[in-house]
Amino acid sequence: MRRRMIQFTACLLTAGILTVGQAVCPVSAEEENITTVADETEKQTDTEKQTETEAAKKKKKKKKKAKAKAAATEETSAEQSLKGQMVFAQCEDHINIRKGPGLDSEVIGKIYNDCMATVLSQDGEWIEIQSGNAVGFVKTEYFATGEEAEEIAERVGYHVATIYADELNIRALPDDDSEVIGVAYKEEELEAVEYKDDWITVVLSDDVYGYINAYYAGYDTFYPEAETLEEEQARLDAEAAAEEEYYEEPVPEETYTASTSYTQSSSSSGGQSSWTQPQTQAQTQAQTQAQTQAPVQTEAPEEEDPEEEEPEEEEPEQEQEAPAQTEAPAQTEAPAEANPDNAEQLNEDDVDSDSYYDAATGQMVKF
């Protein structure tokens, strides 16, 4: 009996061990499965992180490329936006207009400071412009654009109103009932100042303005423009010809006769100076003609008492001045040639320090 109990117990123990073993084995398998899943999850996470990192890098690269492309597009748009715009030269004297976009290209014209040009196209730092009859390339950096160009346009623009009607009243105020101060005719061009509220302000003269109805007139603005080399040469030739013609024009001059004299006399009452105004050529001719028509009879000086003719005694200083009063012997000798009969009456013995010969009357006159 006891032996059976031992066997029975052994069986139970064996069965228990087997049961425990069966129970332990699935747990180990589960643990292994869990470990494997964890490892796989970790690997998957790492892979996902790596994928996300690569995606982020690619995204960043794409953003950079997009920004660069946008910047290039904006730059291209900015360059293309100059086409058709009005630009103004900014320089000290002039800018050469060339046949092509390069400093080695042929110069075909010149554009001066504040002159206007229209942009036709753009090639890098060069723009193709048209200004007047000149079409060529210039560097963009020497031209004002945008708001700066608009300011220059306001300053240098010249406005013209062209009349469309056969006759158009110019009024004192911008009102149809205002006083009429002038009339403009068809195709007449007037300098304009402002276009506002259907009225154009025009210049009539210095500081005088009037108003015309804009419905009957055109309003145009002109700007200084470039010139070709041929136009420049023609302008210089015209200026040189005008200057030469100006200097070749004779200048009228007034001529004076040789009878003009300046005499200085000294008397006992004190020294006095007298001056005969110069005669012009016309006055001399008139005087000569009058003398020819009615010749003046030349008479000898009246003989006077020698005692009365004797000059008064003067101080030494006055005697020293006497020779200066009687010089210019050509004036006293001239009548002898014109009147031979009176030659004896006009020799030096008859001339004293208190008289002089008057060429107009042909007589000796006392001071």
pLDDT in tens, 67-101: 777 665 555 555 557 899 999 999 999 999 999 99
pLDDT in tens, 202-237: 999 888 999 999 999 999 999 999 999 999 999 999
17-26, 45-54, 140-149, 178-187, range with the lowest pLDDT: 17-26
The CA-atom distances, in angstroms, between 27 and each of 24, 39, 144, 281 are 5, 18, 87, 150
Q: What is the pLDDT of residue 175?
A: 93
The pairing of strands 355-358 and 363-366 is: antiparallel
The pairing of strands 167-171 and 126-131 is: unpaired
Residues 42-51 as b/e (b if ≥16 CB within 10 A, e otherwise) read eeeeeeeeee
The listed range with the strongest mean pLDDT (30-44, 236-250, 272-286) is 236-250
pLDDT in tens, 136-181: 999 999 999 999 999 999 999 999 999 999 999 999 999 999 999 9
Q: Nearest-5° angle of CA 45, CA 48, CA 50?
A: 110
Q: How large a percentage of the chain has pLDDT more than 90?
A: 42
**Environment class of residue 243 by beta-carbon count within 10 Å: exposed (0-12), middle (13-18) or buried (19+)?**
exposed
Alpha helix positions (H), 294-354: 306-309, 316-325, 329-338
6-10, 49-53, 59-63, 264-268, range with the lowest pLDDT: 264-268
Residues 55-78 as b/e (b if ≥16 CB within 10 A, e otherwise) read eeeeeeeeeeeeeeeeeeeeeeee
Cα 206 to its chain centre, rounded Å, is: 21
pLDDT in tens, 49-65: 677 677 777 777 777 77
**Environment class of residue 142 by beta-carbon count within 10 Å: exposed (0-12), middle (13-18) or buried (19+)?**
middle
| 30-41 average pLDDT score | 62
The residues facing 236 across adjacent strands are none
Alpha carbons 145 and 87: distance in angstroms, whole number: 5
Token pair of 234 as six digits: 């023609």
pLDDT category of residue 263 using cuts at 50, 70 and 90: very low
Q: What is the pLDDT of residue 22?
A: 60
| 292-316 average pLDDT score | 49
Phi and psi, residue 138, nearest 5°:
-140, 165
Query: What is the widest separation between alpha-carbon atoms in the chain?
Result: 221
Q: What is the pLDDT of residue 78?
A: 54
| Residue labelled with tokens 């970790």 | 42
Q: How large a percentage of the chain has pLDDT more than 70?
A: 54
CATH of span 158-222: 2.30.30.40
| 287-301 average pLDDT score | 52
Alpha carbons 104 and 94: distance in angstroms, whole number: 18
12-21, 42-51, 81-90, 186-195, range with the lowest pLDDT: 12-21
Write out the H or E segment, with its range, that includes residue 37: helix 2-81
Q: Do 298 and 347 touch, CB atoms closer than 8 A?
A: no
59: Cβ contacts below 8 Å, ≥ 6 apart: none
Average pLDDT, the chain: 74
The domain segmentation of the chain, as residue ranges, is 29-80, 82-157+224-251, 158-222, 262-366
Architecture of domain 82-157+224-251: Roll (2.30)
The CA-atom distances, in angstroms, between 166 and each of 38, 183, 188, 209, 217 are 101, 10, 10, 21, 11
Per DSSP, the three-state class of 190 is strand
pLDDT category of residue 336 using cuts at 50, 70 and 90: very low
* 249/191: higher pLDDT: 191
| Residue labelled with tokens 């790596």 | 50
| Residue labelled with tokens 């030269």 | 89
Alpha carbons 119 and 79: distance in angstroms, whole number: 11
Alpha carbons 130 and 101: distance in angstroms, whole number: 14
Amino acid at 307: E
